[in-house]
Structure 1
Amino acid sequence: MPGHVVEPTAPELAGWRHIYSGKIRDLYEPVDPHPRGDVVLVVASDRISAYDWVLPTEIPAKGGVLTGLSMWWFDQVRDLVPNHTVEAPVPPEVQGRAMVCQRLEMFPVECVARGYLTGSGLVEYRESGTVCGIPLPPGLEDGSRLPEPIFTPATKAEVGEHDENVTFEAVVERIGLEDATALRDLTLAVYARAHEIAAEKGIILADTKFEFGRDADGRIVLGDEVLTPDSSRFWPADTWEPGKTQPSFDKQFVRDWLTSDESGWDKKSDDPPPALPDEVVERTRQRYLEAFDRLAKQ
């Protein structure tokens, strides 16, 4: 059943016109021509989503973590692929959680790299021994490290719908062999770099999702957010143990509470989820902040 969203309220920003709101981000375009050309303002809110719903409760500081981590990671992989950010001031009301970015023509593909088996990949593996059509060795468990990272793309879904895992061949049919190969190679290269950096900080990057677009010059550019707890699975390396669910630096507290008896919510129903209790909000906030501190702070 498709999920639903709470209609977001995007702040009014002088000089910028609101044009779109997704689950987490609000998008604006300049009212007047911008000195940096065709740009958009991307604002990360404190909204949080789970089970295809945008929840009625926000997580304070979350938008700042998503933006700060993305900007930090863009710098770490700048030599591998250009990104969509441009140096330009943002409105003071959204300072610290907004980026001015080139407008891109986005590829209709979620570019996912997996170095470990979990999530939807684990479900497919248990059914067929493959992930996105890629055969994997027998005997792998939840959390097992793969022999080598794999590219497991997905189709982009509308808000409230699930992304659908697809094969590389399906991506080729949609965007052509040259672009599909470029996206696969860039995805695996950025994942490898990020996995190495995270490992030095005692964190495992299990998998991650990237979005790429083409700029006005025809270059493939890394866009959206990158390597945040919303787009990646980060696990503490010192507690990693294949065969069980790994603790992660993300919204796991939220998912666990929503599916608990305490919440009283049935995720299979059409009823909206309830407001989060203060304790779940605070524990989730601390988890996001810990991810930022461990990864981006020296």
Structure 2
Amino acid sequence: MESTRTAAQSFALVRKGYDRDQVNAALSRLEAEVELLRADRDAAVRRADRAADDLARERERTTSLEARVAELGTAPVTADQMSDRLSTMLGLAHSEANSVRDAAHADADQILTQAEDDAWRLRESAEAELKDIRDRNAAIRSEHAAVLDTARSRAAEIIATAERSARALDEEAARRRMGVDEDHRIASDARRQEALREDELRRAASIEAAERIRLRASEEAEQLRADAQATATQMISEATAHTERLRALRRDALSDLAAIRARLEIVPSDVDEEPLPASPIGREDQSLSSSDE
């Protein structure tokens, strides 16, 4: 796959420019690669949606546990009135709240890591595609220059051949003039003039054909370059839009995590708790700014 993306296209030259079948095949490959990028983008969006759903479920579960703990903590119960069973239930509720909080932290970290990995992977893929398209544009420009050079060389060769033929005819006519009488000389001159006229016509036709070949090759190469540039612009726009959507998803996930942390910090606990991890919002924003640069 990568070798196909990074390999520069090489089109065979035919009489009227690039081979049409090879050009169509190259465009088909480019369209297939664009479809693969779109499939990767859709898969990343689906993964982000699933992660958001998981986070919402964990948030609901945490809210439910907070309500249970708050309900147990609001009733005025003295030490004499508290039964062993109630003490056990309260301890289990605290333990479950701690477990849910730890699980929510772990899930949130996993969601953030996955979202960041997806964003970087898509960014790298877009950069690789952009480099590939630039390389292909350079290859097409190089082949365009090669076509023009070939056309110029062919035109020069045709002109040189015509001039050599004209000189050969002149020399042949001169040799014949020296060995024939006046009538033959006149007839020879007439034939030579006719041959020169025909040769001049052939040379003019050859020059015109070479110029047509050069112009046609230039037009087709310019069209290929314009098509490749348009494809590159579209792919870059799609990759940029998708990256922005992933950034929005990541900001939403960070906002949900901050809300969960704020709620969990007010949950009463009689057991030792580890301090909540520092907010990754600043770190993520700084990473996002660095990636944009």
More relative contact order, 1 or 2 (CA 8 Å, 6+ apart): 2
| Higher-Rg member (1/2) | 2
| TM-score, reference length from structure 2 | 0.19
User: Which structure shows the higher helix fraction?
Assistant: 2
User: Which structure shows the higher strand fraction?
Assistant: 1
| TM-score, reference length from structure 1 | 0.19
